[in-house]
Amino acid sequence: MFDELRKKISNAVKGFIKKEEKEIGKPADDIAALKAETGTEKPAARGAQQEPGPKPMEISLSVGTKIKGAFLDSIKLNDADMERFVEGLRPALLQSDVSYDATDDFLGILKGKMSDSKFKSRNIREQMMESVRESLLEMLGRTKPGIDIVERIRQKISLGEVPVRVLFLGPNGTGKTTTMGKIAMMLKKQGIMCLFSASDTFRAAAIEQTEHHAKAIGIPVIKSTYGADPASVAFDAIAYAKAHAIPVVLIDTAGRQETNKNLVNEMTKMVRISKPDITIFIGESTAGNALAGQVQEFSKHMNIDGIVLTKLDCDAKGGNAVSIAHTTGVPVLFFGVGESYDALVPYTPEFVVDSILPAG
């Protein structure tokens, strides 16, 4: 996951520094000449052994800044260089499915950060990477924070507002049933019992798949037959949970096409009948730029509390993990990173940034 984005950002930074070195020629000679010019040092005799000291300034600078840099051993990017560096990153992000608005926001933060920064003339690549990292964290930190599902459920239980209803929505095949299983297992580990409402009565084998997960996790499942009204299955599941003091109902739904009017009507009816406390959109990380449209389409008709971004383990680009919350205003709650029950990672900006720009 994130392999492409990681490689592209790293190449953009490396490419910029290499290009600058080439354009300047030999930076060490350049500085030695400047020091000689300003009377701080005599140029080394041709052929004489060079001191192994720091290799100053790897970036093109105005003459004034160069002279300052020679004394201070630190540099500041001029506007043109900064523009070139920052804009060099743009294709890396866009080609990795990071949305336009998130890319713009990130590059704006980076520009501001770099114009305030002085770089030591050593390890400039690492320092630039650090600026990229900080800017990415800042951009991710600007999105609406997600709810803590377990905490929200605990609160409802302690207030006696049970059963707590959690609804899973999203296009077909994105991992709704699998994610519902992962969340059931997570709740079970926290000592919170739940049951499944097998309300995907549309997709072949969906009911059996839900039963399979319920058996593996050790929880009940309420089901009907294929073609039955999904909302009535949810209604029965809620009634069963009430009768058996089961505090949480996890409600699966059918997918089909996100823009399909029938599906939207079906989901609206499901929301009306089941009155979910938490509604989670399940979307595939690999859906590229189509994902934002899917979330926005559902959001028009119902409140969505958060996104679980599945199949991040299969996504070399990873741009949706960076920008979907920024673009849609709906926070990411978890990443699905595999098919097993424990392959669910809580969303944090640090997880995203550490995966894209590993330290060191």
Q: Distance from CA of residue 184 to its chain's centroid? A: 23
> What is the closest distance, in whole angstroms, from the C-beta atom of residue 351 to ligand GDP in the complex?
14
Cis peptide leading into residue 346 (ω within 30°): no
Rule CB under 6 A: choose which of 56, 163, 175, 306 binds ligand GDP. Answer: 175
Q: Check residue 176 for interaction with ligand GDP (CB under 6 A).
A: yes
Q: Check residue 143 for interaction with ligand GDP (CB under 6 A).
A: no
Q: Check residue 177 for interaction with ligand GDP (CB under 6 A).
A: yes
Instruction: Write out the binding residues for ligand GDP, residues 228-287 only, by CB under 6 A.
Output: 255
For residue 104, give every residue at least 6 positions away whose Cβ sits within 8 Å of its Cβ, in sequence order, or none. Answer: none
Distance in angstroms (rounded) separating the CA atoms of residues 129 and 70: 23
Give the pair of three-digit tokens for residue 330. Answer: 């709906």
Give the pair of three-digit tokens for residue 152. Answer: 């929200």
User: Which of residues 148 and 339 has its CB atom nearest to ligand GDP in the complex?
Assistant: 339
> What is the closest distance, in whole angstroms, from the C-beta atom of residue 178 to ligand GDP in the complex?
3
Task: Supply the DSSP string of 205-271, one letter for each residue.
Answer: THHHHHHHHHHHHT--EE---TTS-HHHHHHHHHHHHHHTT--EEEE----S-TT-HHHHHHHHHHH
Q: Check residue 173 for interaction with ligand GDP (CB under 6 A).
A: yes
Q: Check residue 60 for interaction with ligand GDP (CB under 6 A).
A: no
> What is the closest distance, in whole angstroms, from the C-beta atom of residue 165 to ligand GDP in the complex?
18
Distance in angstroms (rounded) separating the CA atoms of residues 10 and 6: 6
User: Which of residues 170 and 349 has its CB atom nearest to ligand GDP in the complex?
Assistant: 170
How many residues make contact with ligand GDP (CB under 6 A)? 19
Chain residue whose CB lies nearest ligand GDP? 336
Rule CB under 6 A: choose which of 228, 313, 346, 354 binds ligand GDP. Answer: 313
> What is the closest distance, in whole angstroms, from the C-beta atom of residue 179 to ligand GDP in the complex?
6
Rule CB under 6 A: choose which of 178, 279, 320, 355 binds ligand GDP. Answer: 178
Q: Which helix (H) or strand (E) holds 312?
A: none
Q: Distance from CA of residue 64 to its chain's centroid? A: 41
Q: Which residue has the tokens 């593996």?
A: 216
Q: Check residue 108 for interaction with ligand GDP (CB under 6 A).
A: no
* List of residues contacting ligand GDP (CB under 6 A): 172-178, 203, 209, 255, 310-311, 313-314, 336-339, 343
